[in-house]
């Protein structure tokens, strides 16, 4: 059974994790210190990685309605399967470190991805699996890695009425932290 994994890197040694956690409680506790929340939010029905946007939104209608009622009014859907054209370009774009002026939620509804969060002198690299929901505060520098053979369905929600523009951040650590293993 797939599980979430948190690897913690110090900026002075970005090639080697200081610690790696695999228990949900330990991961949630470590992320919580940085104001990041990790929850499990299962769907009633299975949703394959690479599903189309309409299928994703339909399968997630109930949890999305609840999240949107909490103020996360805008969203983006990312759905990739390794057989599609453009996956390498998409991976490069997603690995760009950025920040948003509003809180976000990353809801992995199919497949897996790695969400890297730069907090103070550390990078928290969370390997998200199906049903993981991460709440990330405004201003946290982050990037995504989808691996060389991407298979994922992700809904990203924003605490604003429309999807805000990102501000690119320093790219140094994004290029040094190990990516998602396929």
**Does some domain include residue 58?**
yes
Question: What is the reported pLDDT for 85?
Answer: 58
Per-residue pLDDT tens digits for 93-105: 899 999 999 999 9
Please identify which residue in the block is written with the tokens 């913690």: 8
Residue 180 within any structural domain of the chain: no
User: In this structure, is residue 178 part of a structural domain?
Assistant: no
120: CATH: 2.60.120.10
Where do runs of H (alpha helix) occur along the chain?
Answer: 24-33, 53-59, 61-69, 87-94, 172-176
Do 103 and 140 meet the contact criterion of CB atoms below 8 Å apart?
no
Average pLDDT over residues 115-136: 97
Instruction: Identify the pLDDT of residue 155.
Output: 97
Assigned domain for 182 exists: no
Q: Do the domain assignments include residue 172?
A: no
Asked if the model's pLDDT at residue 108 lies above 70, the reply is yes
pLDDT score, position 87:
64
Neighbour tally for 153: CB within 10 Å: 27
**pLDDT grade for 33, boundaries at 50, 70 and 90:** very high
Q: Give yes or no for residue 86 having a pLDDT over 70.
A: no
For the stretch 126-154, pLDDT in tens is 999 999 999 999 999 999 999 888 888 99
Residue 180 burial (10 A CB sphere; 0-12, 13-18, 19+): buried
| Count of structural domains within the chain | 1
173 in any annotated domain: no
**Cβ-contact 8, 17 below 8 angstroms:** yes
**CA 141, CA 148: separation in Å to the nearest integer?**
23
In a domain, 34, yes or no: yes
pTM value?
A: 0.94
What is the gyration radius of the CA atoms in the chain, in angstroms? 15
Pairing of strands 132-136, 19-21: unpaired
* Residue-number span of the structural domain to which 19 is assigned: 5-166
């Amino acid at each position: 059974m797939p599980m979430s994994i948190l690897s913690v890197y110090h900026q002075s040694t970005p090639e080697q994790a200081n610690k790696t956690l695999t228990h949900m409680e330990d991961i949630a506790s470590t992320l919580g210190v940085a104001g990041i929340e990790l929850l499990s939010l299962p769907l009633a029905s299975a949703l394959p990685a690479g599903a189309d946007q309409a299928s994703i939104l339909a399968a997630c209608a109930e949890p999305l309605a609840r999240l949107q009622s909490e103020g996360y009014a805008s969203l983006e859907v990312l759905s990739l399967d390794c057989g599609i054209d453009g996956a390498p370009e998409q991976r490069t774009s997603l690995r760009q470190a950025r920040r948003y002026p509003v809180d976000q939620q990353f809801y992995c509804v199919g497949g897996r991805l790695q969400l890297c969060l730069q907090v103070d002198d550390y990078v928290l690299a969370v390997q998200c699996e199906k049903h993981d929901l991460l709440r990330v505060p405004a201003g946290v520098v982050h990037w995504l890695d989808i691996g060389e053979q991407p298979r994922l369905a992700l809904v990203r929600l924003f605490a604003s009425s429309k999807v805000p523009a990102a501000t690119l951040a320093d790219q140094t650590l994004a290029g040094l932290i190990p990516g998602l293993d396929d």
